[in-house]
Structure formats: C-alpha cells, structure tokens
Amino acid sequence: MLLVARSPLCCHTGVVCKGKQTKQSTDEKSIVVRNADEAWIVVSAKTSYPTGEIYETEADRLLNEALRSNFSEILPEAVRSYQTLFNRAGICLPENETVSHLTTDERIENFQKQDDPSLAALYYNYGRYLLISSTRPGSLPPNLQGLWANATGAPWNGDYHTNINVQMKHWPVEQANLSELYTPLIDLVKRLVDGGKESAKAFYGLQAKGWVLHTLYAKDIEKAIRLLPPHQISKEGYLMEWLEDYEETDIHHRHVSHLYGLHPGNQISVLNTPDLAEACRH
C-alpha cells in the first residue's frame, strides 16, 4: 500500500446570488442568503500538494476567479472540456432489444442470464467518464474512489494502493487515447523517489541502492515477473486468483487483478489460450 502523508488543507467558500430582493450576510461560521432567485455556492479547496506553503493563497485566488466567472458559461465550458477527451474514442456493440430498454440496474441484474453487448459498451464509456472526470494534468491522479465518496472518511482512506489498484485506474488511459491523464501519476511518483530512497535504506540497510515503494525495488521488477506462477484454472472452471483454490467468502467482492493477462495485457486470448479465455468468463 502506498501511504502518502496527509497534507494541510484549507477550504474557502463564496456565494453568488441573483434576485432583486436578495439579502446576504456572512460571519466567521456561516453565509446567510434570503429572498434569492438563485444562489451558487462556490467551494475552493487546496492542500499543500503540489502548491506547497502557498496553498491558502492559491485557494483564495481560485475562489475569487470562480466568483468573477460568468455562471451561464460554466456548464457549456465544462462539457466542451470533457468532450474534447471523451470523443477521442468510442465503441459500438449490438443491442439486444429484449433488455436494452430496461434501466441500467435491471440490465446489470440480467447480464448473467441474458446476452447484452451494448451494456458492455455503456460500461466502457462510463469508465472513461469517471477517469476523465477524476484527473487532469496538474492535479492528483485518481485514488480508490476517484473524486467521489459519500462520507468524509472514504473506504480504505481513499488512498493509493500500489499492489494493483492504482495500476487498474490507469488501464484504460492509452487504449482510450487519453495519454495526458498519466501525467498526474508520473508527477506523484517522481515526488516519491527521494523519500523512497530513504525507505529503501531504512528497510534494507544503508547500502541499499535505488528506491522502494510498497515492497519492490524498481530495478527488481523484471526479476519478480520471472518468478510469477503460471495461470491456473480452478475446479469450478474460473481463473484462479491465488496459488491455492480458495472458496470465495463473499461473491459480491470480486477482484479482477488476475485478469490482467486478458485485459489490458495479451497473455490470454480466445485464439492462443482458449481454455484460459473461457475461465475468465466465469
């Protein structure tokens, strides 16, 4: 697991109101708006990553910039920015008219029983939407929840798990023609190198060379790959995640990291390894 030290945080809020009878007042703890036809609440939050000690000043600058914006143009501008990236790729799969008219949750429930190719296309597009909306150059890479969490304390702290999760977040980047969305992750990793050198010395001795993140030296990755066990098929017919054929304790909490050879890798294919490809379907 990658543990990133918590950064200082500031959050500044402003309100833009419309209406002839609008009354607005503020104090240290609240903003009060009365008789407004519209009220836009603008929140600017920054941490010391990557702006350093000027993060509060930067939060103020961004807030004031937003408050001066033409709010009627914000949505069209956001849509244009998003579509510039989203429209670079696409996929169209056949519709099954028996189920394509159903709601998405109903289609998901029927997916195991009813062929629904266009749902897979919808899922692919939804994944691109989440990725594009989670990160841009100059910001942080997407964490476990992207930008979305239903509580201030997200599951697993909303952090960066380098065992597989942070990699999985970026699997669609190149295939969806979104190469620049790699740059936040590259920037973050570069910032970890100096601390990683100290970690390597602390865990493996003062003579340790290179830097460490999680439990592998960067230079030892190729050696580790050669030690990986081969793919195996369980007695139930699915591709095994572990060395032993463990029984699932929760079928609703499924890992997919062992499917890397199928996607985005190319070790498993219908043509070259049909038995393994069939096991991936289970």
What is the value of pTM for the model shown?
Answer: 0.73
pLDDT-derived band of residue 221, with 50, 70 and 90 as boundaries? low
The upper half-sphere exposure of residue 50, i.e. CA atoms within 13 Å in the direction of its Cβ, equals 13
Tokens read off for 136:
């841009």
187 CB-near residues (< 8 Å, 6+ apart): 50
pLDDT at site 203: 84
pLDDT at site 228: 81
C-alpha–C-alpha distance, residues 70 and 43, integer Å: 16
pLDDT tens digit sequence for 115-131: 999 999 999 999 999 99
C-alpha–C-alpha distance, residues 102 and 92, integer Å: 18
pLDDT of 6 strictly over 60: no
pLDDT tens digit sequence for 21-39: 999 888 888 889 999 999 9
Higher pLDDT among residues 278 and 1, named by residue: 278
C-alpha–C-alpha distance, residues 58 and 62, integer Å: 6
The residue extents of the domains of the chain are 1-69
pLDDT at site 98: 92
Q: Is-cis flag, bond preceding 50, omega within 30? A: yes
pLDDT-derived band of residue 50, with 50, 70 and 90 as boundaries? confident
C-alpha–C-alpha distance, residues 119 and 95, integer Å: 8
